[in-house]
Amino acid sequence: MIYLDNSATTKPLPEVLDTFRIVSEKFFANPSSIHNLGSLSEEMLKKSRHQAAQLLGVKDDEITFTSGGTEGNNLAIKGAAFSYRNRGKHIITTEIEHASGYNAFKQLENEGFDVTYLPVKQDGRVSVQAVKDAIREDTILVSMIHVNNEVGTIQPVQEIGHYLKSLNKVLFHVDHVQGIGKVPLNLSDSGIDMCSISGHKFHSPKGTGLLYVRRGVNLSPLFSGGSQELNRRAGTENLPGIAAMVKALRLTLEEYQHHLGKLQDLQNKMRTAFNTNEHMIVHTPSENAAPHILNVTVKGIKSEVLVHALEEEEIYVSTKSACSSKEGGASRVLLAMGVPEDEAAQAIRISLSYQTKEDEIKTFIDTLNKKIKQLKFVMG
């Protein structure tokens, strides 16, 4: 099996699953319980929060554990919008957000908020000037994906964050789900007020994530209930998942320090092969792009057909975002980049992890070329 759908989800690491099992067995009590077993679980929770904060270079009380990127994005976007709506109801985002952000903005529009969706250039990148031009007196929030989940374009979040910080009145949320462990981002020095991260994108079990919330930022909770997670997120904490995610985060950041160049080399090998193939169009830009995502169109072959053809050889890629892959039609992201609708409907996404091997990429390229020839022959 060759698994190249890591932007949808990664395979949990064995040592991460070991941590999940051990914490499930030894720290099974509710961290909110006042007896000794509860206190032991609470200490494990505090230890996990401290480790996560250290790994991300932030303060312990700036970490809120969530169930993943979707919850983190919704808590940041809706929580900030409702908490600060007395200042104004204008929010700025982009046309290429992940569905969990994009649909949150659509929902806020129904609640009376005015949302500006910034266009992107052909490389999928928004301009800093466009953000500046969109700011109004009643703007309360700018929210933006750091690394696009379909094409891998990196947005200029540091430049935008520094500009917004100079205004001292507009909050900045960044969806860092696809960037964590692949594209560096200094949370404490980028003008970022909130940042979403999802564990299953870096070899943690699903249902884990965290939201960085800068000290002093108030969010209206999405859930009514207890006072867990600094009154931001009610509900009994998923302690085994939290501990496992923090371990996965540490291991991923260690991999990043030593093996980031490997991902770039593998992506470059694919890009070189695809650029010389007359049947293929590469949509991922060559600059300002993450090293683990490559989006390409195979002309004349629908993406679903190609995905299933590769699956016959136990090679797994995807069409668009996993959250949107079962929806019909062309990719909203590619259309926003100016890709023609027929090309957008024929695009596949290849996404790597630090576990991806060079010989797997060679096999994938060879198999893809073989499948293209077979499908072209059948289609006449």
Would you write out the chain's pLDDT as a tens digit for each of its 380 residues? 999 999 999 999 999 999 999 999 999 998 988 999 999 999 999 999 999 999 999 999 999 999 999 999 999 999 999 999 999 999 999 999 999 999 999 999 999 999 999 999 999 999 999 999 999 999 999 999 999 999 999 999 999 999 999 999 999 999 999 999 999 999 989 999 999 999 999 999 999 999 999 999 999 999 989 888 888 988 989 999 999 999 999 999 999 888 889 999 999 999 999 999 999 999 999 999 999 999 999 999 999 999 999 999 999 999 975 554 455 578 999 999 999 999 999 999 999 999 999 999 999 999 999 999 998 766 65
Q: 176 and 154 in contact (C-beta within 8 Å)?
A: no
Instruction: Break the chain into its structural domains and give their ranges.
Output: 2-8+258-379, 14-251
- Phi, psi (deg, nearest 5) at residue 11: -80, 125
- Total-model pTM: 0.95
CATH number 3.90.1150.10 is the correct assignment for the domain at 2-8+258-379:
yes
The residues that bridge with 316 in the sheet, in sequence order, are 3
Q: Phi, psi (5° rounding) for residue 350?
A: -110, 125
Catalytic residues: 323
Q: What does the pLDDT read at residue 328?
A: 59
Handedness of CA 235, 240, 243, 249 (dihedral sign): negative
Q: What digits encode the pLDDT tens for the residues 225-243?
A: 988 888 898 898 999 999 9
Kindly report the CATH number that applies to the domain delimited by 14-251. 3.40.640.10
pLDDT computed for residue 257 by the predictor:
84
pLDDT of residue 358: 97
> What is the pLDDT at residue 192?
98
44: left (phi over 0), alpha (psi -120 to 50) or beta: alpha
Which of 195, 157, 160, 159 is CA-nearest to residue 176?
195
